[in-house]
Amino acid sequence: MGNRYLCLALCLCALIPSMLDAASDGLLRINMKKRPLDVNSIKAARKESKYVNGLKNTPHGLSDGNEDVVPLVNYLDAQYYGEISIGSPPQTFTVIFDTGSSNLWVPSSKCIFSIACYFHNRFKGTKSSTYTKIGDNLQINYGSGSISGFSSKDTVQVGDICVEDQDFIEVTKEGSLAFVIGKFDGIFGLGFKEISVGDLQPVWYNMVEQGLVKEQVFSFWLNRNEADEEGGELVFGGVDPNHFIGEHSYVPVTRKGYWQFNMGDFLIGNQSTGFCEGGCAAIVDSGTSLLAGPTAVVTEINYAIGGEGVLSSECKTLVTEYGDMIWDLLVSGVTPGKVCSEAGLCFSDGRQSVSSNIETVVGKENDGLGDTVLCEACEMAVVWMQNQLRQSATKEAVLSYVNKLCESIPSPAGESVIDCNTLHKMPNVSFTIGEKLYTLTPEQYILKTGEGAATVCISGFMALDMPPPTGPLWILGDVFMGVYHTVFDYGNLQLGFAKSA
């Protein structure tokens, strides 16, 4: 019986590529579903996110250490998911196709002590004739919990093709409550092998090596029309011309691991923020719904669109007590990166990250101003003041502006609520990528949840601070990818963007 299943599986995997060649365009299409967004899932996801803690553990392959940690994203924020199957005969799983990580993992039948596993489909290796257990113990670390399991190999079916001898992780422990309410069983990583936990071969790599795709390209079309049931399509092996308008503009991948590239200036309305004039690192991440950026810039955005942040008495105290000094140092020509150390607020000539964890700014109301908090608040104030100086504003106007920005610092959980009736007054925001502006309108970067009187509008921006040399870092999630069709060109190591159809 087992041999018969094995022969059948191998025959199917051999036949399907030839069937694809006979298709009209030779593209492998994965239909994706979407689920409604709600405030509670956003809060839960952000608290569980690796990004909340600024990726304190550097991903494997990107540092000099021996850490083996995958970069994880706000999976619960992700609205788009699809189905794959593993084994012979196939066992079906719902997964998030995530360009921000590189492993394939699903719950295992051996996961018996984690309640989250009982709410999702579990893989049974004994039921598959093509299954091989590798057995290496692996762990994926989160900001507040972890997932652990062991490595295995089996046939993985994606759409209409079979990937043979595919590495994946069988999860035996899900240590985070967030996974109990997750709408997905597992994660299908589409990042580079450099950040794969256990150095396991990503599915996409095997698709290429086994000749299952016509081109070394995959592309995302995310449907942002709330009324449509269709969530979008992930296309392996090329692009669908019906998914975009005009031509794609390409930028090179600058660092293999994430799909990372260099981004230029960020604009609110038609006004430069000045924060990324010298360039910022950015990644395109299908595993998170929102747009994440440095706290200093996200605060300016939330102020410009009327977002309600958490009042930071520390920030206002800094403006009151040290605002004049910071102004005088900037006006006198002191380099912005050295202003805070010159003022005695940072005790290092090396620039610290701007709020490496925003909780240190807004979450210690009873602790007073520690040295680290003063330094972080000062660095944010310098960014804001420098931007206003370019516009020749007076000192009084600048200090008043910075004081108001303090009120818009994102809360520790990151959410910023917007008045839904003010969308028509909000500015556009634009990213400079490859010397081209990619603009989002308020209707595109504000997320709505609920209906009628219960409708809530949420800022599509959340704060993320990563220290140099990795940061500053922007994460362009589904809010961006829904507006701009994105091509992940593995063969030429580049990313392409065009307006979605």
CA 87 distance to own-chain centroid: 30
Looking at residue 410, its pLDDT comes to: 64
Counting Cα atoms < 13 Å in the Cβ hemisphere of 346 gives 23
Q: Is 208 helix (H, G, I), strand (E, B) or coil?
A: helix
Counting Cα atoms < 13 Å in the Cβ hemisphere of 1 gives 3
Alpha helices per DSSP H over 260-370:
295-304, 313-331, 336-342, 359-362
> Would the CA dihedral through 415, 427, 299, 496 be positive or negative?
positive
Tokens 């809360």 map to which residue? 411
Residue 468 to residue 476: CA distance in whole angstroms = 19
Q: What φ, ψ does residue 85 adopt, rounded to 5°?
A: -140, 155
Residue 386 to residue 366: CA distance in whole angstroms = 30
Tokens linked to 101:
């990580």
Helix (H) or strand (E) holding 73: none
Residue 450 to residue 439: CA distance in whole angstroms = 26
**Could you read off the pLDDT tens digit of each residue along the chain, which spans 501 residues?**
444 444 444 444 644 444 344 345 778 898 887 765 555 555 444 434 545 443 433 333 333 333 222 223 333 334 578 899 999 999 999 998 999 899 999 999 999 989 889 999 999 999 999 999 999 999 987 544 578 999 999 999 998 889 999 999 999 998 766 677 677 899 999 999 999 999 999 999 999 999 999 999 999 999 887 777 778 899 999 999 999 999 999 999 999 999 999 999 999 998 999 888 788 999 999 987 889 888 888 888 888 888 865 445 678 888 988 999 999 999 999 998 899 988 888 875 433 333 332 222 222 333 333 456 678 788 889 999 988 988 888 999 999 999 888 877 765 445 677 888 999 999 999 999 998 999 999 999 998 877 777 788 888 898 888 877 777 889 999 999 999 999 999 999 999 999 999
Residue 331 to residue 319: CA distance in whole angstroms = 16
Q: Is beta strand 186-189 parallel, antiparallel or unpaired with respect to 91-98?
A: parallel
Q: What φ, ψ does residue 25 adopt, rounded to 5°?
A: -125, 0
Contacts of 262 (CB under 8 A, 6+ apart): 251, 254, 279, 280, 281, 282
Active site residues: 98, 285
Tokens 């199957």 map to which residue? 85
Q: Is 374 helix (H, G, I), strand (E, B) or coil?
A: helix
The answer to whether the CB of 214 falls within 8 A of the CB of 462 is no
Residue 313 to residue 315: CA distance in whole angstroms = 5
Residue of 116, 121, 141, 203 whose CA lies nearest to 168: 203
**Dihedral of the alpha carbons of 423, 427, 433, 438, in degrees to the nearest 10:** 50
Distances (CA, A) of 341 to 175, 360, 388: 41, 19, 21
Distances (CA, A) of 442 to 233, 246, 420, 428, 461: 24, 23, 10, 6, 11
Residue 88 to residue 65: CA distance in whole angstroms = 39
What's the pTM value of the predicted model, to 2 decimals? 0.76
